[in-house]
Structure 1
C-alpha cells in the first residue's frame, strides 16, 4: 500500500515524472482524489506520438498533434505542472532533484519513456530516430533538403543519392513513415520540381527479421509489405545494417553483403529505456531487463520501494502469455489510470483487483486506403482498415481543436494529395551544399554571417 497522509492538514503528495500518455492519464485520473499532484516534464507540451511520422513528412504541423500540458490539466485544481528535468531521486528522503531545488513526494510515478537504440553504434547523427517533435522536424528538414539538393545537383549519380531514402526498421513507425515518404515523392511533389522527377525517388525499408510488423500475424505483415511495394517502396527483410558511413549504408542479407548509396537515413529499428531507468537502478535497486526497462511488481511498484511506480514504455511488465506488454499508447494509458486508482484506493484502505490490460488491437497505416488492423477476433486490411485507423487516431487526440484541425488537414490531403507543412525550418540557419575537391561540405550560414561547416567525404564511386 502507498504511504498514508502524515496528518490531517497535509495532503498525500504524488509526483509524476513525464507528461506522455502514462503520466498524463495518471494525473487526469487523480483529478478528484484528495492528493496534491505535481507533474514534471522537460517540455511544456504533450505530443501524440503515433502521428509524428506525418510531421516528419510534412502532412501535419507540430502544433496539430501537440497540446500544452497546463491546458490539458487546467481543470485539475489539485495539480501543478512544472517544466524541468529530474537529475536524481532520493528514495529514502522521498525527494526528486531538479536544477532549481528538491520536490518531496509520498508516491512517485516515473513515466519517462524510451529513446533510440543503435545497438552500441554511434549512428544518431547519421540516422535520426522518431520519438519527439524535435526528431520529426529534423527528419522533415533532411527529407526536403534532399529534394532541394537533388534539384540543383548536375551530377546524375549524386542526384540519385539525394533521391534515395533508407529507413532502418520495419515496425509500425518504419512502415508508416515509408508509406508516407512514398506518397510524398511519387504523388505530392511530382509537379513541384523542374529538374528532377521525384517519382524516381527510391524508398528502401531494411528490416532485420523476416517480416515487417513482426508483432502482427504473418498474413497481415505480408499484406502490409505488398501495400508498401505497390506504393513503390523496396522492402528488404532479413537485412541487418552493419555500418553507416558517409553516403553508404552497408547491410547483410543472409550471406550477402551489400551497400546502398544515400544521403538520407532514418532509424526506426529499436528502442532503449530512458536514462531514468538507470537512475532507479542506482538509487533504488531497481532491476532492469536487457534493453534497460524497469522490472516491477504486479502493481507497477518497485520491490524495495513500494511507493515508487514505473509505467509506460519504461516498464517491463508481463502480458500473462510469456511476453511483455508492448510499448504503445493504449498500454501506457491503462497503466497510468491503474496506478492512479491504486494510490487512491490505498489512501482509502480499499483493495484493488490486479491490473489486466484490455487489448483493443494493433493498427498500422501504409498510405491512402491502405492499412492493417489486428483486433484478435478480426483482422482487416485495405480501405476498411484505413478507415478504422483514421477514426481511432482522431478519437485519441486529446484536444477538440486538434481533432478538428487534423480532420480538416486529412480531408484536404485526401482530395488534393497536398501536404501543407513542407517546410525546412532551421532557426537562424540556411543550409547550402558546395563541393570542394573530393569533399562535399554542408555549410550552415547563420543570420550573423558566421558559418559552421560539416565535411563529408565523397565516395569514389559517386
Structure 2
C-alpha cells in the first residue's frame, strides 16, 4: 500500500524512525532505561480500554489511529438523523494525555508489520519498534458483494458517513418541498433489522412525526416513508422473542414498514431490489447489514479466519505471535465473542492486564467475558433491554423504563464530561420532555442558493 503524497523509500536508505520522534524516548523518573514500548493500533472501544488499563504500568504507550478522535458508534445514528451534533459523540484522542502521561497519540495508518524484528511501518514510511503490539483497528461496512450497494447505499460506521446521511436527508427534503408533485417526498430504506437498523428507522420516524411534519407542510401525507428490509423473518434476532415482538409492533405503530423474509439482491440509484423480485423505491438507502475487517489487514502478516478477522487465543494473544495481541471487532477468539462494545472493552482491559502480567513475569490470564446484556431504542420512551442479572437470570424490560436504562448506559459510556452533558441535553430534548414534543432537528448542510453570475 503506497501513497503518492508521501516521500518514497529509496533503495538502501534507512527509514527506521526511533520512538524519540514521537516524544517517547525520555524515560520516566526513576527509570534509567527506556521503558517497554506498547504500540496500540486503533482508538476505538478496545484500544481505549488497553490504554486505560496501562495507565499506571511502567510502559510507554503509542496509540496510532487514522483519525484524531474516538467515535462513540452506538449513537452515530443520532447524528445521521439530526438528534446530536458530531462533536457530542467524538472525543479528541490527544486529550488522553491530560490525565495519562505515559501515552502518546500518533495520527497515522498501519501499512505493514515485521513481527520478527518487532516493528511496524506507517503510511508515512516511518518504522516504529515495539515490545508489545496491540491491534484494535476495528472493522468497516460489509456490503456482501451486493451489486450497487457500495455505489448507492449509505453506510453509517463513521462520523463522516453519518453526516453524509444527514446532509442527503435534508437535501432531499428541500427538493421535495420545492416540487409541484404532491407525492414527491422522501422514501428511506434501511437495510438490516439488527439493533442499528431498528434504531435508525425509529429515529427517522421520530424525526418525521415530531420535527419535520410541521416544518415541511409542502410534503403531503405519507410522502416521507421509512422501511426496514431484513433477510430473516424477524428483526432483532439477538433478543428474546417477546422483545422482538414489542419492537416490531412499536415500529409499525410509528409508521415504519417492515419487509421481512427477503434479502437485498441489488441497490439502484433510486430503488432497492429484493431477492424475491420486489422493487422498493428508495430516495435514500441506509446500509446497516453487517461489518468486516478492512482489506489492508491482510498485509499485516497476522493469521486471519475466513471472514478476515485476526485469530487470537482466549488470552487475547494472536496465534503464533507472542507479545502481539488483538481485541475488539477485528479479532476472533475460540470462545466466539460477539462484535459489540462490551466484549471490546472487556477484551481491551484484559490485554492491558496481560501485558502487565508479562512484565511482572506472570502468565497471561484468559478473558472471562461477562455478558451484561443488550438493548435498543425505538423512539420516544420506547426501548427494549435484556439485562443479565447475577446468577444468569435475564431481566427483560420495555417501554419507558427500558428507555431510561438505555439513556443512562449510553450517557455513562461516553468519554469526557462535556460529551456526557451535551449528549444528555440533546437526547432528553429529542425524546424526554413531555412539553417539548416538537424539537427542531439539527439541520444538515444543504447547498446554498446563489444567483447566476452576470454574463453567464
Q: How high is the TM-score relative to the length of structure 2?
A: 0.86
The answer for the alignment partner of 1:297 in structure 2 is 313
**Which stretch shifts more, 364-373 or 215-224?**
215-224
Report if aligned partners of 1:277, 1:288 keep a CA contact under 8 Å in 2.
no
The answer for the alignment partner of 2:85 in structure 1 is 61
The answer for the alignment partner of 1:387 in structure 2 is 404
> Closer, same or farther in 2 for the Cα pair 1:45/1:418, shift >3 Å?
farther
State how far apart, in whole Å, the 2-side matches of 1:103 and 1:198 are: 60
The answer for the alignment partner of 2:202 in structure 1 is 179
Q: Which of 147, 151, 154 is the matching residue for 2:177? A: 151
The answer for the alignment partner of 2:338 in structure 1 is 326
1:303 Cα deviation from its structure 2 partner = 1.9
- Deviations 1:108-158, CA, capped at 9 Å, x for gaps: 00011111111113422311111110110011111111211111122345x
The answer for the alignment partner of 1:435 in structure 2 is none
Q: Which of 31, 36, 43 is the matching residue for 1:19? A: 43
Q: Which runs of 4+ in 1 moved over 6 A?
A: none
Report if aligned partners of 1:113, 1:313 keep a CA contact under 8 Å in 2.
yes
1:70 Cα deviation from its structure 2 partner = 1.0
Are residues 1:234 and 2:234 paired?
no
Are residues 1:136 and 2:162 paired?
yes
> Closer, same or farther in 2 for the Cα pair 1:47/1:198, shift >3 Å?
farther
Q: Which of 440, 444, 455 is the matching residue for 1:424? A: 444
Provide the secondary structure at the position in 1 that maps to 2:329: helix
Q: Which of 287, 299, 303 is the matching residue for 1:267? A: 287
Report if aligned partners of 1:28, 1:73 keep a CA contact under 8 Å in 2.
no
Q: What is the RMSD computed on CA atoms of the aligned residues?
A: 2.3
The answer for the alignment partner of 2:277 in structure 1 is 257
The answer for the alignment partner of 1:372 in structure 2 is 384
Gaps of 5+ in 2: 1-30, 389-393
The answer for the alignment partner of 1:314 in structure 2 is 330
Report if aligned partners of 2:385, 2:402 keep a CA contact under 8 Å in 1.
yes
The correspondence of residues 340-355 of structure 1 with structure 2, limited to 5 A, is: 340-355=352-367
1:91 Cα deviation from its structure 2 partner = 1.0
State how far apart, in whole Å, the 1-side matches of 2:45 and 2:453 are: 40
Q: How high is the TM-score relative to the length of structure 1?
A: 0.85
The answer for the alignment partner of 1:123 in structure 2 is 149
State how far apart, in whole Å, the 2-side matches of 1:420 and 1:279 are: 47
State how far apart, in whole Å, the 2-side matches of 1:248 and 1:396 are: 37
Report if aligned partners of 1:169, 1:206 keep a CA contact under 8 Å in 2.
yes
> Closer, same or farther in 2 for the Cα pair 1:8/1:297, shift >3 Å?
farther
Gaps of 5+ in 1: 1-6, 433-444, 450-462
Provide the secondary structure at the position in 2 that maps to 1:212: coil
1:352 Cα deviation from its structure 2 partner = 4.2
State how far apart, in whole Å, the 2-side matches of 1:42 and 1:212 are: 34
Provide the secondary structure at the position in 1 that maps to 2:70: strand
Provide the secondary structure at the position in 1 that maps to 2:198: helix
State how far apart, in whole Å, the 1-side matches of 2:182 and 2:361 are: 73
State how far apart, in whole Å, the 2-side matches of 1:226 and 1:370 are: 11
State how far apart, in whole Å, the 2-side matches of 1:240 and 1:247 are: 17
1:200 Cα deviation from its structure 2 partner = 4.1
Are residues 1:86 and 2:110 paired?
yes
The answer for the alignment partner of 1:336 in structure 2 is 348
Q: Which of 123, 134, 138 is the matching residue for 1:109? A: 134
1:228 Cα deviation from its structure 2 partner = 0.7
Report if aligned partners of 1:58, 1:419 keep a CA contact under 8 Å in 2.
no
Report if aligned partners of 1:144, 1:422 keep a CA contact under 8 Å in 2.
no
State how far apart, in whole Å, the 1-side matches of 2:428 and 2:385 are: 21
> Closer, same or farther in 2 for the Cα pair 1:65/1:419, shift >3 Å?
farther
- Deviations 1:78-121, CA, capped at 9 Å, x for gaps: 11001111111111111111133111111100011111111113
- Deviations 1:49-80, CA, capped at 9 Å, x for gaps: 11000000000000011110111343211110
Provide the secondary structure at the position in 2 that maps to 1:131: coil
> Closer, same or farther in 2 for the Cα pair 1:198/1:63, shift >3 Å?
farther
The answer for the alignment partner of 1:97 in structure 2 is 121
Report if aligned partners of 1:109, 1:309 keep a CA contact under 8 Å in 2.
yes
The answer for the alignment partner of 1:221 in structure 2 is 244
The answer for the alignment partner of 2:54 in structure 1 is 30
State how far apart, in whole Å, the 2-side matches of 1:379 and 1:42 are: 39
Higher share in strand: 1
The answer for the alignment partner of 1:440 in structure 2 is none
Are residues 1:363 and 2:375 paired?
yes
